[in-house]
Structure 1
Amino acid sequence: MSKTKRIAIYGKGGIGKSTIVSNIAAAYSENCNVLVIGCDPKADTTRTLVGSRIPTILEIVKRKKGASPDEILFKGYGGVRCVESGGPEPGVGCAGRGVIVAMNLLEKLEIFSEDLDVIIYDVLGDVVCGGFAVPLREEFADEVYIVTSGEYMALYAANNICKGIKKLKSRFGGVICNRRGLKDEVKIVGEFAERVGSKIIGVIPKSELVQKSEYEAKTVVEKFPDSKQTELYRKLAKAIYLNEDFVVPEPMGIDEFEEFFRQF
């Protein structure tokens, strides 16, 4: 592969972004050199890839002025390289600051210029503030995807993220439906995607294999490589990799969003 595929995945906190990111990263690792950058203050994106939580960039730079690649980069399943930006203590400081510090340090250490086929950013999307908007910018990510369920708050956050994508004129590749088992959930998410001018790029069903894998700090791809769930992660990874259908989304206004959701 000649050009690095740079993917930013956004979504409401707790919607399952990290599970999807870690599993598609594991799927990509079967054929690609992969870097995963956790941009969530919880710093738990890479736990199932590495097998434990890793030190964050913010923690490291608090202790010392300089940092080497060996101190911030950790090898995970399939050779996936893993980084966590981290964030301040709850209630103290700006949560997005860790992302800004992390991006600056990764650039300085020339991590992005390494032999990489795929870079995936896992980004909190409840509020697209200056820090969390960094991966949306052209120099870091080429395309953006949103993870959502059919729940009101998840879709509300997804609509807000679309506003950020539109403002920064980023390339929106579609919606990932992470099912919670609601009635007509795929239909609801599909209608939402259509309303903002996009599409569903993949559907991931709720599965007990996710919890079983995460108990052991593993991805489903590693723990249950022959399962149907793993095949769905591989299918999603492939769909994202081959996707060439990008738009600048048209988010709904508040009244339009309320009217949209009430019909279900």
Structure 2
Amino acid sequence: MSKRKQIAIYGKGGIGKSTTTSNLSAALSDIGYKVMQVGCDPKNDSTNTLRHGKSIPTVMDTIRSGSNDFSSVIHEGYNDILCVEAGGPEPGVGCAGRGIIAAIELLDNNGVIDEYDPDIVIYDVLGDVVCGGFAIPIRQGLAEQIYTVTSSDYMAIYAVNNLFKGILKYSGSGGGLLGGIIGNSISKIAQREMIQDFSQQTETEVIEYVPRSPIVTRCELDGKTTIEGAPESEQAEVYRELARKVINNKQKFIPRPFDVDDLSDWGSTWVNKLLLEQKTAIEGIQDGGTGV
């Protein structure tokens, strides 16, 4: 690529954000791009499946040790993907977002990213709270595009709506804009329709739906991405398609988030629809049918 592409992927904890990010990185590397993945989650596990389950020293670890060897924060993973973990403060001390601030300052101020010259840098950011260090990829325009991973779980969508508020707030001052929504763990029609409706209501776009699959869990137990552990699977092809869409995506949306009360009313309607679909499926099975 003639110009480095920098994106950030946000999502509520436990929603499959890091799983999606790591498979995206692996798929992009297979296509031929030089990828750097920066884990911006205090759990420090963003890049584990790119390194056969092995964790790496974090930027905060390096800073606390007093080391000036900034190259020590870069570790190679699957297919030469450059892996970085921001880390966080010692338990019970300081802000969890401090690791992101420290990591970005270290990488930028010391020319670390330029030295390794990746084609694409992906920041994997915890999206439960969009404040402090967690907001830096948006606020400073560090990422040209923001993506968010969500399921049909209401609290996951609630977190996305908060993210949209952050993007909207900084959109007028050079902040990063939305590239799209990634629907994850989709197994039912109503789940897909719920995310699609949320996208339409907030004037955004869904870039891909990733189905729920036991293959993902099996590969993660082996310390691998699906791209590495099950490269011929349909699930791996979904991640490859996501990679192709991300690398070619030029869309930049300024979302129109729900007010809290409106989101609650909207969510109640969809929860009822999901429950009805589930009830219908169960009754179909009990009657000897196949269900939904």
Shift of 1:109: 2.4
Shift of 1:122: 0.3
Shift of 1:244: 1.7
Shift of 1:241: 1.1
Aligned match of 1:39 = 40
Larger Rg: 2
Tell me if the contact between 2:186 and 2:192 (Cα under 8 Å) persists in the aligned partners. Answer: no
Letter in 1 for 2:3: K
1:237 and 2:243 equivalent? Answer: yes
Aligned match of 1:19 = 19
Aligned match of 1:111 = 112
CA distance in 2, matches of 1:233, 1:215: 18
Which residues in structure 2 correspond to 1:46-57 (within 5 Å)?
Answer: 46-51=47-52, 52-57=54-59
- Specify which of 241, 266, 286 is matched with residue 260 of structure 1: 266
Which residues in structure 2 correspond to 1:169-184 (within 5 Å)?
Answer: 169=171, 170-179=176-185, 181=187, 184=190
Which residues in structure 2 correspond to 1:128-143 (within 5 Å)?
Answer: 128-143=130-145
CA distance in 1, matches of 2:66, 2:90: 18
Letter in 1 for 2:92: G
Shift of 1:138: 4.5
Letter in 2 for 1:195: Q
Aligned match of 1:89 = 90
- Specify which of 252, 255, 266 is matched with residue 246 of structure 1: 252
Q: What root-mean-square deviation, in Å, do the aligned CA atoms of Structure 1 and Structure 2 show?
A: 1.3
SS of equivalent residue, structure 2 residue 37: strand
1:23-65 Cα shifts (integer Å, max 9, x gaps): 0100011210000000000010100112211111111111115
Shift of 1:131: 0.3
CA distance in 2, matches of 1:129, 1:226: 40
Letter in 1 for 2:101: I
Give the paired residue count. 263
SS of equivalent residue, structure 2 residue 121: strand
Letter in 2 for 1:45: S
CA distance in 2, matches of 1:182, 1:56: 38
Which residues in structure 2 correspond to 1:76-225 (within 5 Å)?
Answer: 76-113=77-114, 114-169=116-171, 170-179=176-185, 181=187, 184-225=190-231
Letter in 1 for 2:74: L
User: What is the aligned-residue identity percentage?
Assistant: 44
Structure with greater proportional helix content = 2
Change (3 A) 1:180 1:232: closer
Letter in 1 for 2:237: E
TM-score (norm 1): 0.96
SS of equivalent residue, structure 1 residue 168: helix
Letter in 2 for 1:96: G
Deviates more, 1:172-181 or 1:145-154: 172-181
Deviates more, 1:129-138 or 1:206-215: 129-138
Tell me if the contact between 1:61 and 1:67 (Cα under 8 Å) persists in the aligned partners. Answer: no
CA distance in 2, matches of 1:206, 1:249: 27
Unaligned 5+ residue runs, structure 2?
271-292
1:166-214 Cα shifts (integer Å, max 9, x gaps): 1111311111000254561010011111111101100111111111111
TM-score (norm 2): 0.87
1:131-188 Cα shifts (integer Å, max 9, x gaps): 0011113442100011000011000000001011111113111110002545610100
CA distance in 1, matches of 2:258, 2:100: 28
Unaligned 5+ residue runs, structure 1?
none
Tell me if the contact between 1:179 and 1:185 (Cα under 8 Å) persists in the aligned partners. Answer: no
